[in-house]
């Protein structure tokens, strides 16, 4: 019989998990994208996305207290809807969404690494860097990820300290006229920008995966979710304000894929640019390593539950080897075939869809989890409307991104139909 997990993570540790999950590679990858859409209103865009994340975090907090499981999101959806066609499709979409985030971090890694090359490198070197950013963490996961996981706290601390340094040294250079309403994009563009970069808030849900190990969960889990999201919202708003108020928009547009490094130049010069680029490389690399491991584990849990083929639950050396290999292979394909803007949209859309269903799950389970049902319902409405705004706006500017997202949904549904029909036929009487 499996021993219960030791509850050795306190409130500070739980908050660190949430902040580390959010301030991973996302802010390094999507800041320039937000500026290109919402211009001077970029801080507002981050605020809008943060509100959706905060409301969803409330649903996660109550669900995590009641259902303390390493399965996290997948477990919540199963608890609400049962192990059936709907939950199987949604869990596969969740798995695919994590593949997209790996791709996002890999492309961001290549963008920042390219700044150290003359002329920012060639197309070939860019693809080589993208591939290396996935293949090296894959090997680390296969051989033993312990030394990277042990350094994760240090990398998170380095990122936060560097961002705080940029904030402090940039204060004298801020020109708030650049964030005045006359420099904003349209309201539709503003909301769309917030939803495009929503993937930068993805990561707070990792607290749920550690719920079994958190001490005094009834008290610490809700606090950890709320504190971590609120702190990251504040951090992102300040960073966005500094970026658009200290750097001419033309420069940000020219360096969209590594805008945060450019934002360090006014206060810290080329040294600041290099430090941010190095921090971005460490952040995205560690985020890829952690997400490959986490998604392989998610695939393992879903396979054990019968929702993915048995190949995913094959372990060697106590590691989900097939899960690591499959996760890395598909991520390589996505990262090398889709540009950064489309990947950001796919990641944000995927998590908005999953979070909408988590909010519905919280509302459906409201009698068991307690709390305020109107919060769960509000979170569902906001996340669903946000997804709709993102898809409509994207359809007018980048139809391929919307079609790719629709393709992910079709793949998930068709896979569940075929796999559920011919392999998991015992579910036919329970939702099929």
The CATH number for 11-421, chosen from 1.20.1740.10, 3.50.30.10, 3.30.420.40, 3.30.70.20, is 1.20.1740.10
| pLDDT tens digits, 123-138 | 888 899 999 999 988 8
- Which is more confidently placed, 2 or 233? 233
Query: Once rounded to an integer, what is the mean pLDDT over residues 56-85?
Result: 85
Collapsing DSSP to helix, strand or coil, 423 comes out as coil
The full DSSP string for 304-357 is HTTSS-GGGG--BTTB-HHHHHHHHHHHHHHHHHS-HHHHHHHHHHHHHHHHHH
Query: Once rounded to an integer, what is the mean pLDDT over residues 318-330?
Result: 78
- Phi, psi (rounded to 5 degrees) for 247: -120, 130
Question: Is it the case that residue 283 has pLDDT exceeding 60?
Answer: yes
Q: Which two tokens stand for residue 10?
A: 């306190």
Is the backbone of residue 82 left (phi > 0), alpha (psi -120 to 50) or beta?
A: left
pLDDT value for 237: 92
Question: Is it the case that residue 61 has pLDDT exceeding 80?
Answer: yes
Q: What is the DSSP letter of 9?
A: B
pLDDT value for 308: 57
Measured distance CA(412)–CA(272) in Å, rounded? 43
Which of 160, 170, 156 is closest to 272 using CA atoms? 170
Measured distance CA(79)–CA(361) in Å, rounded? 8
- Which is more confidently placed, 362 or 254? 362
- Which is more confidently placed, 384 or 90? 384
pLDDT value for 432: 39
Measured distance CA(238)–CA(351) in Å, rounded? 24
Measured distance CA(61)–CA(362) in Å, rounded? 10
Measured distance CA(357)–CA(368) in Å, rounded? 17
- pLDDT-derived band of residue 58, with 50, 70 and 90 as boundaries? very high
Question: Is it the case that residue 317 has pLDDT exceeding 50?
Answer: no
Task: Say if residues 107 and 336 touch (Cβ distance below 8 Å).
Answer: no
Task: Say if residues 22 and 184 touch (Cβ distance below 8 Å).
Answer: no
Measured distance CA(290)–CA(17) in Å, rounded? 12
- pLDDT-derived band of residue 278, with 50, 70 and 90 as boundaries? confident
Query: Once rounded to an integer, what is the mean pLDDT over residues 6-26?
Result: 79
| 23-53 burial code (b ≥16 CB/10 A, e <16) | bbbbbbbbbbbbbbbbbbbbbbbbbbbbbbb
Measured distance CA(273)–CA(120) in Å, rounded? 14
Highest-confidence segment of 10-14, 113-117, 249-253: 113-117
Domain boundaries, the chain: 11-421
Task: Say if residues 249 and 35 touch (Cβ distance below 8 Å).
Answer: yes
| pLDDT tens digits, 378-414 | 999 999 999 998 898 888 888 888 898 898 889 888 8
pLDDT value for 267: 85
Out of 51-55, 96-100, 229-233, which region has the weakest mean confidence (pLDDT)? 96-100
Query: Once rounded to an integer, what is the mean pLDDT over residues 201-220?
Result: 85
Which of 233, 221, 287, 294 is closest to 14 using CA atoms? 221
Question: Is it the case that residue 29 has pLDDT exceeding 70?
Answer: yes
| pLDDT tens digits, 158-191 | 778 888 888 888 888 887 777 777 777 677 778 8
Question: Is it the case that residue 304 has pLDDT exceeding 70?
Answer: no
Task: Say if residues 204 and 57 touch (Cβ distance below 8 Å).
Answer: yes
- pLDDT-derived band of residue 312, with 50, 70 and 90 as boundaries? low
Query: What share of the chain has pLDDT > 70, as a percent?
Result: 86
């Amino acid at each position: 019989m499996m021993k219960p997990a030791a509850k050795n993570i306190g409130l500070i540790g739980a908050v660190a998990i949430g902040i580390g999950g959010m301030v991973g590679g996302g802010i390094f990858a999507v800041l320039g994208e937000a500026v290109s859409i919402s211009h001077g209103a970029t801080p507002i865009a981050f605020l809008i996305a943060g509100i959706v994340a905060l409301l969803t975090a409330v649903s996660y907090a109550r669900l995590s207290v009641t259902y303390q499981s390493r399965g996290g999101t997948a477990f919540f959806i199963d608890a609400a809807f049962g192990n059936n066609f709907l939950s199987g499709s949604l869990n596969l979409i969740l798995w695919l969404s994590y593949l997209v985030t790996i791709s996002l971090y890999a492309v961001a890694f290549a963008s920042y690494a390219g700044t150290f090359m003359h002329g920012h490198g060639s197309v070939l070197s860019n693809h080589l860097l993208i591939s290396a950013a996935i293949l090296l963490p894959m090997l680390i996961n296969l051989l033993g990820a312990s030394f990277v996981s042990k350094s994760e706290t240090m990398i998170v601390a380095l990122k936060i300290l560097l961002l705080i340094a940029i904030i402090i040294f940039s204060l004298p250079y801020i020109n708030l006229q650049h964030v005045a309403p006359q420099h904003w994009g349209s309201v539709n563009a503003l909301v769309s920008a917030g939803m495009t970069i929503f993937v930068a808030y993805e990561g707070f849900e990792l607290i749920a995966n550690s719920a079994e190990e958190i001490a005094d969960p009834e008290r610490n889990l809700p606090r950890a979710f709320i504190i971590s999201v609120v702190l990251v919202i504040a951090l992102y708003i300040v960073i966005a304000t500094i970026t658009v108020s200290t750097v001419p928009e033309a420069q940000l547009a020219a360096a969209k894929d590594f805008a945060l490094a450019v934002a360090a130049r006014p206060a810290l010069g080329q040294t600041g640019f290099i430090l941010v680029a190095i921090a971005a490389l460490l952040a995205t690399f560690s985020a890829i390593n952690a997400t490959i491991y986490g998604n392989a584990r998610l695939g393992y849990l879903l396979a054990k539950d019968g929702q993915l083929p048995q190949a995913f639950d094959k372990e060697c050396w106590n590691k989900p080897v097939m899960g690591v290999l499959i996760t890395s292979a598909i991520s390589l394909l996505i990262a090398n075939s889709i540009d950064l803007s489309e990947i950001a949209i796919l990641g944000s859309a995927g998590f908005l869809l999953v979070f909408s269903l988590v909010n519905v799950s919280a509302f459906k389970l409201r009698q068991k989890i307690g709390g305020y049902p109107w919060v769960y319902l509000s979170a569902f409405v906001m996340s669903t409307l946000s997804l709709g705004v993102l898809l409509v706006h994207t359809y007018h500017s980048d139809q391929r991104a919307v079609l790719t997202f629709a393709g992910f949904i079709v793949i998930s549904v068709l896979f569940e139909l075929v796999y559920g029909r011919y392999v998991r036929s015992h579910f036919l009487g329970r939702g099929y």
